[in-house]
């Protein structure tokens, strides 16, 4: 399995993990408040990373680059946005159906791509824009509660707002994606979990139902911990927009489980939205990108090897396999299929 295939596998695995969150959260929201539920999901993710840290070999951990003081602003943005987004999502879930909220999560792709393009100057081609147009159309269709009176569902609008927060957060995380993913998820889980927990306490949303709390922590460990961990690994090689496109599988997993667990019925608008979003996700996944491009001089620290054509620096000592250290990329011009990862930030004329 080459680097690109492995990144796609990680993105799909992240999507499957996250797809579990909405239908099971719907069941747990009968016993827990939205703010407390959001806190438990991220605290569960932090617990999962602590367990993973204990079982992983020290040699394997040493291959990853640690977060640095210079990463603090992206880390702070990541934490704050992850306090807001799940709280908005849980409130949206209480005011809408789980299948609708699951499918509306596809709007996160649009938000991520627009922010990546406008703010972080990530390359987005025509095929991706077409895919985003289909996904946006599906999101708008699900957001309208009554076409006769043109009223919008509050639950759907809260879900879209959560997606905007996550779109910005995805781009903050992308800027950290070359660093230790376990460490990133741990910072995200502890910071966002404690932030949401404080919010739940202020809003009098704490409820000491032991079984529900344990279930929420377990759900957070898999749906948030596993999801974010694999998402970061995918972002290293795919970039923010493409990883989000593969992540579009998550809402469809959520929809399927919603019908099984909650017994939701199908509406015509839901079926049309499902088709539009499935078409958009397919176009995004099938996008190819290959042309002559130039890498400017770049110096940074991250996990790498010397077989990928981008890491040609030498060492005064024998090195084999993957390792992490500060290194310099000299200017390089070549052509190959690539994605807008942090090694491919060049601009395009069209």
Run of H or E including 293 = strand 290-295
| C-beta of residue 326 within 8 angstroms of C-beta of residue 301 | yes
Give the three-class secondary structure for 316.
coil
Q: Is the pLDDT of residue 324 over 50?
A: yes
pLDDT of residue 38: 93
Top pLDDT among 122 and 204 is at 204
All structural domains of the chain with their residue ranges: 3-287
Burial of 321 (0-12, 13-18, 19+ CB in 10 A): exposed
pLDDT of residue 341: 59
Q: Is the pLDDT of residue 151 over 60?
A: no
Give the other-Cβ count within 10 Å of 128's Cβ: 22
Give the other-Cβ count within 10 Å of 285's Cβ: 16
Q: What are phi and psi of 294, to 5 degrees?
A: -115, 135
User: CA–CA separation, 218 vs 277, rounded Å?
Assistant: 29
pLDDT of residue 149: 45
Q: For strand 323-329 and strand 298-304, is the pairing parallel, antiparallel, or unpaired?
A: antiparallel
| Model confidence band, residue 321 (pLDDT cutoffs 50, 70, 90) | low
Residue 58's contacts (CB-CB under 8 Å, 6 or more residues apart) are none
| Model confidence band, residue 61 (pLDDT cutoffs 50, 70, 90) | low
Burial of 133 (0-12, 13-18, 19+ CB in 10 A): middle
Q: Kindly write down the DSSP assignment for every residue of 233-271, as one continuous string.
A: HHHHHHHHHHHHHHTTHHHHHHHHHHHHHT-PPP-HHHH
Top pLDDT among 168 and 349 is at 168
Give per-residue pLDDT as tens, 232-253. Answer: 888 888 777 778 777 767 777 7
Q: Which residue has the tokens 């049309």?
A: 272
pLDDT of residue 220: 96
pLDDT of residue 348: 60
pLDDT of residue 190: 95
Top pLDDT among 140 and 168 is at 168
Q: Is the pLDDT of residue 79 over 90?
A: yes
Give per-residue pLDDT as tens, 245-299. Answer: 777 677 777 777 777 776 666 677 778 878 887 888 778 767 665 656 676 777 7
């Amino acid at each position: 399995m080459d680097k690109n295939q492995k990144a796609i596998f990680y993105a799909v695995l992240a999507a499957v993990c996250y797809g579990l969150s909405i239908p099971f959260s719907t069941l747990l929201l009968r016993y827990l408040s939205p703010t407390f539920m959001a806190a438990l999901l991220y605290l569960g993710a932090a617990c999962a990373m602590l367990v993973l840290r204990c079982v992983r070999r020290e040699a394997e951990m040493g291959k990853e680059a640690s977060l640095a003081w210079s990463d603090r602003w992206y880390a702070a943005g990541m934490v704050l946005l992850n306090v807001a987004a799940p709280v908005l999502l849980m409130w949206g879930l209480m005011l809408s159906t789980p299948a609708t909220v699951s499918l509306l999560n596809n709007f996160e792709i649009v938000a991520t791509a627009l922010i990546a393009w406008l703010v972080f100057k990530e390359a987005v081609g025509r095929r991706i824009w077409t895919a985003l147009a289909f996904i946006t159309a599906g999101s708008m269709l699900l957001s309208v509660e009554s076409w006769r009176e043109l009223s919008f569902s509050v639950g759907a609008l809260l879900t879209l707002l959560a997606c905007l927060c996550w779109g910005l957060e995805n781009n903050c995380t992308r800027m950290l994606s070359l660093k230790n993913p376990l460490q990133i998820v741990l910072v995200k889980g502890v910071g966002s979990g404690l932030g949401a927990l404080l919010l739940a306490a202020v809003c009098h949303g704490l409820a000491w139902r032991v079984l529900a709390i344990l279930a929420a922590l377990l759900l957070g460990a898999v749906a948030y911990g596993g999801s974010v961990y694999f998402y970061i690994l995918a972002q290293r090689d795919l970039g923010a927009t493409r990883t989000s496109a593969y992540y579009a599988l998550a809402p469809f997993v959520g929809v399927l489980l919603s019908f099984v667990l909650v017994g939701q019925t199908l509406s015509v608008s839901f079926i049309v939205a499902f088709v539009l979003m499935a078409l958009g996700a397919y176009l995004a996944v099938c996008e190819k990108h290959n042309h002559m491009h130039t890498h400017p001089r770049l110096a940074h620290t991250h996990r790498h090897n010397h077989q990928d054509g981008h890491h040609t620096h030498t060492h005064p000592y024998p090195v084999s396999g993957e390792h992490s250290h500060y290194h310099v990329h000299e200017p390089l011009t070549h052509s190959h299929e690539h994605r807008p990862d942090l090694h491919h930030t060049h601009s395009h004329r069209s």
